A and B are shown apart, each in its own frame.
Chain A
Amino acid sequence: MKKLKKVFNIRVLRGIISIVIFVGLWQLVVFVKVPYLKNLPYPKEVALDGISAAGTKIYWLNWEISLIRIFIGFIAAQLIGIPLGLAMGVSRKFKDFTFPVFEILRPIPPIAWIPIAILFWPTRELSIYFLVFIGAFSIIVINVLQGVSNISVSLKWAASSLGARPKDIFWRIMIPGSLPSIVTGMTVGMGVTWNVLIAAEMIAGQNGLGRMTWEAYTNYNIPLIVVGMVSIGVAGYLCSSLIRWLGERAMPWKKRF
């Protein structure tokens, strides 16, 4: 009972209420036939299509494929982006050499990389991993760089007065000090990677949630389009929640972020 109370606290209840209101408004919009939205299916139709899709293997396979693509591209972006951001933040010389190139590439929208990614990589799968990587990469680099730059000089001075050597300052001050920015970068980056993934799957993919939604469009199956959209939304929410959960565990000193 206590556990149940913990799960269904007031904040969860507010969330549920907001979803109920949203579905109610959707029902109303379709019912009163709001101009331009008359083709929108009723929530019930979408729910029934969703249930029937959830009973098929292909639907869950699309989930699995999209999630694998997200995690491979996203993790690769973190593995390369976090050390790069840290190196730029710690060494002015390194930043002078790398930052201009990074700043020229950064404004290019990830979707603009699609043609070159398809031409450059030997398989379409690798192209999609690459595009997901691009989506998260610049965000994490810029956040880590910002995080390192924002660490107060007093903290570094305090550590060196206390006897910390440069490597202690890096591992014990720079890393934990930039952790909040790393988590923010990961959370924002996760949202962007889903945008990029869906676009890439629609254009270059043969499967995945993006492709499933696109195929529903080509078949003019509007309820399935909405099922695809809701699935993408839920998948993105679950991934962001995972990042937040990891962030809370990595930063016990932050009550909320």
Chain B
Amino acid sequence: MARNGQNGQGAISIRNVTKIYDPEGVHVVAMQDCSFEIAAGEFAVIVGPSGCGKTTLLNAIAGFDNITAGEIYLDGELISSPQKQIKPNVDRMVVFQNGALFPWKTVMENIIYGPIVQGRMKKSEAIQIAREMLNQVGLNEIESKYPEELSSGVQRRVEILRAMINEPRVVMLDEPFRGLDAVAKTVMHEFLMNIYCTRPRTMFFITHDLDEAIFLGNKVVIMTTRPAQVKKIVCVNMPWPREHHILGSETYLGLKKEVLEAVHEEAKKAFEAGEREMA
């Protein structure tokens, strides 16, 4: 069951999206006729083989890249089509795979950057809100530190807070916890769940970790190998907030089997395609 987004906002509709890189030259079809819906406030997790086009789709929604065919709507408004591309905006915040905190800004300066640059808040007001957010998640002592002084896990948390202070309609996270160890990941999952429960927003979360996908999502969208299409959508009907002991429950194990079978089939295809390319 999806939580209500901010005023029921943040519904994404992806309709027959195709993306071809270098159509005149190498002609790489990254996505073909890909369609699915994400309801307002839903926590959608996208999984699929490496290089299948998940990040391509995220970039198109975020406004970083255009699409070759199809349409993407946000709350009924066309935001991407071959004829129209709405620029990146605060209503679609992205947390990047390799982190994108500004190294020359302190934690506080990073978090308040959005509201200040948009002219939406006075600096004192933004600082007060950022402090409250940092306090809520127990990071109140790091506000004057630079990103390089923090662990990757803490950097990711700060980046998520930097996104949330802008009250976006959609938060898109591209494998944000990649490279973290299992213990750090559980902390990050709790953090993200806490954020999602207290400030519900539509989440578009890309991962390769199936446990993470089922634990966090209310919808797991499994993509095919390139060119990306939707292979299967698995709905995760487990109550919120979730705790890690559900990872041993029968419902969870059943869901994992279902997701794993679909992913494995695609992984095999991707592997065989790779072998063919190498031959």
Contact = CB atoms under 8 A, between A and B. Distances in A.
Partners in one complex: yes
Interface of A: 152, 154-155, 157-165, 168, 172-173, 176-177, 179, 251-253, 255
Contacts of B103: 253
Looking at chain B's contact residues, is the secondary structure mostly helix, strand, loop, or mixed? loop
A252 B109 CA distance: 14
29 contacts: A152-B98, A152-B100, A154-B96, A154-B100, A155-B100, A157-B62, A158-B100, A158-B102, A159-B113, A160-B88, A161-B62, A161-B63, A161-B90, A162-B93, A162-B114, A162-B118, A163-B90, A163-B114, A163-B117, A163-B118, A163-B120, A164-B113, A164-B117, A172-B102, A173-B102, A179-B104, A253-B105, A253-B146, A255-B148
B166 interface: yes
A177 B96 contact: no
B55 to A, nearest CB: 11
Closest 6 CB pairs of A and B: A163-B118, A158-B100, A162-B114, A154-B100, A253-B146, A176-B104
Interface residues of B, number: 29
A172 B105 CA distance: 10
B133 interface: no
B92 interface: yes
B89 A155 contact: no
A251 to B, nearest CB: 7
A158 B96 contact: yes
A162 B146 contact: no
Contacts of A155: 100, 102
A250 B243 CA distance: 46
B94 interface: yes
Contacts of B232: none
Contact of A163 (B89, B102, B146): B89
Contacts of B99: 154
A92 to B, nearest CB: 18
B87 interface: yes
B118 A160 contact: no
A165 to B, nearest CB: 8
Contact of A176 (B96, B102, B114): B102
B113 A162 contact: yes
B240 interface: no
B173 to A, nearest CB: 13
A162 B166 contact: yes
Nearest to B159: A158
Contacts of B87: 160
Interface string B64-82: 1000000000000000000
B102 A161 contact: no
Contact of B98 (A154, A161, A176, A253): A154
Given A157-B88, A161-B94, A172 B117 contact: yes
Nearest to B172: A161
Given A161-B62, A162-B113, A163-B90, A253 B104 contact: yes
Nearest to B114: A162
A76 B105 CA distance: 30
Interface centre among A154, A168, A176 (most CB of B within 10 A): A154
Nearest to A168: B117
A159 B93 CA distance: 10
A158 B113 CA distance: 11
Contacts of A152: 98, 100
A157 B117 contact: no
Interface centre among A160, A179, A252 (most CB of B within 10 A): A160
